[in-house]
Chains A and B, each alone.
Chain A
Amino acid sequence: MADITFTLPDLGEGLLDATVLEWLVAPGDFVERGAAMVEVETTKSTVELPSPRTGVIAALHVDEGGVAEVGSPLVSFAADDDQAGIVGTVPADEVPVRRVRLTIPED
């Protein structure tokens, strides 16, 4: 078994790092893709990052209270050997894109 590692995403606002407030998963946990995984704080807000994949957590790379830099390892999942060596980025929970209003306003 090897690991698949995900890094801290760019959270926007020109921020270079974030503080890990609380891990909502632990090594050995089975986690579904999209489930709440970790809570991080920037200078402007807090963000809950969802799990980037379904699988078993192998390692957390930043302690609670520690600072993670954008692009540095955040979490690893256990993986089959044929998937070893993959490095991805945890997706930020994107602000929804504004949708175009299709109906014509009354006024």
Chain B
Amino acid sequence: MNAHLPALQVVLPLLAAPVCVLLRNRRVVGVWATLIAWASLAIAITMLVHTMEHGTISYALGGWESPLGIELRVDVANAFLATIVTGIASIVLPYGPGSATLAIPQDRQYLFYTAFLLCMTGLLGMSVTGDAFNVFVFVEITSLSSYTLIALGKGRRALTAAFSYLVMGTIGGTFILLAIGLCYQMTGTLNMADMALRLQPVMGTRTVLVAFGFFVVGASIKLALFPLHQWMPNAYTHAPSVVSAFLSATATKVSYFVLVRVVFTIFGAAYVFGTVHFEWLLMPLSIAAMFVGSIAAMYQTHIKRLLAYSSMAQIGYMTLGLSMNSVEGLTGGLVHLFNHGLMKGGLFLVVANITFRLNSSKIQDMAGLARKMPWTTLAFAVGGLSLIGVPGTAGFISKWYLVQAALMKGQIWLALLILMSSLLAVGYVWKVIEVMLLKPPTKRVENTTPAPLRMIWPVWVMIGSTVVFGLWTTWTGTVAEVAAETLMGLR
């Protein structure tokens, strides 16, 4: 059975989604989807353990061996990503009904779970596939279901947000499709590993350069790299909070992984950094994202929009790690991918709790919230500290790796920039904490009660794990380092 895990990883949520349509009952579907997420998490962890010990698992779909058939290829990096996606889903799904009830009528809620499971399918597919065209298909499965999920948000602005995401996302997806076509034209293969091999003799041609360009722009739209981030703040602001939590913690991360795969697996570091000098483009953009995102976050009046801009800054850290072209840098990027998933997911769930009770996501409406919802406020504070990168939280670990990587390259200015942008994070996190803690409570806050326990435990699982992974770093560090080495072809 172990040998079939890569296929089951994708097929399980894919087949569970139509079952939701058949089951229909809101509660039954909720439990079903949660069980599926947990089972997928078990599969992902099993694969991660297996790949750490025995190396890459290759799975030939339909018995057609690669490069002719579609190959699912799971190495440590893929399994790491699948673990993140399924892990976040496992925590978010039990939370699900809490905030989703606000947006859609109860008798249609099974469709929320269907879309959610399909989104998960797409993300997992992107994580485990070794086939370039498959990446496009799964990118589109993810995108289509996430447009739907965003449009489920309360209020009509969710619709326009979903629409502009649809336009941007489709352009991005089509760019990726075109890039795959150009690569196929040059190599006659769709298998990534085979493609990399056959691209070597034609690396000098302009077609390959154009293909690389389309890949990068397409993936960058999906991962919301500055300045292609416009769709993100609106989408995360107006989507249901649970969806924001899931997408911010996984969708952009998986797109980041696709970019990493394109850079290291298909084109190879020698071409990307040696010939094209991709870092000359990526590094300034990442730094710009870090600063623009953090500064923009400080000026936001809606807490979800604040978190969305903060996400944009944090994505900057990840791409910065990629642009360093070193094992340390990429390790930093991957560790941050994991840690940021936990903290942003956790923070959006905190916001979901707050908006559930307050019915508002304006920061000024949260004045004095600490007195009424102490645990929720504390969770926000811990998550916020992690965003800043205070020692003892997960955020510190990833920034530590990045600073180390910068220092190892002898780029002290880069390390200083990382520290400076972290200080900016203090600005926007404190802005929220100050209002919650020090301002006198408003009428709206006076009348609230803490969120039910059902909604509090997922928050604390996420926020708690940012502390756990901030103190106990062996696991994330080792896995991310092995993953980085695998991606760079050093293992």
Q: Do A and B come from one complex?
A: no
